[in-house]
Amino acid sequence: VSVYDSIAQAHVEAGDIAKATEAYALAYQTCINVFGPESKTSIMFKGLVDNTPTNAAEIAAAYGFDVDDDDDE
């Protein structure tokens, strides 16, 4: 799963969203086979298939990271 995830992220960074979606779909199918369709990981990858990020900020948001470019804190 992590390999497919890394491949998907690389495709997003390269601007090839269709290939990123394919890699996320493979990760999702693997999660279903290993963890079942109701696992948190499977659900997360289903979301990435349905709404594939298009840039690094969207990737971070999809994984729950707070991307804040403001260094005032």
End-to-end CA distance of the chain: 35
pLDDT (tens digit per residue) in 28-66: 999 999 999 999 999 999 999 999 999 999 999 999 887
Supply the pTM of this predicted model.
0.87
pLDDT beyond 60 at 73: no
In whole angstroms, give the CA distance from residue 22 to residue 11.
Answer: 10
- What local confidence, expressed as pLDDT, does residue 70 receive? 55
Domain boundaries in the chain? 2-62
**Higher pLDDT pick, 41 / 69:** 41
Q: Where are the alpha helices (DSSP H) in 15-70?
A: 17-35, 40-50, 56-62
- What local confidence, expressed as pLDDT, does residue 66 receive? 75
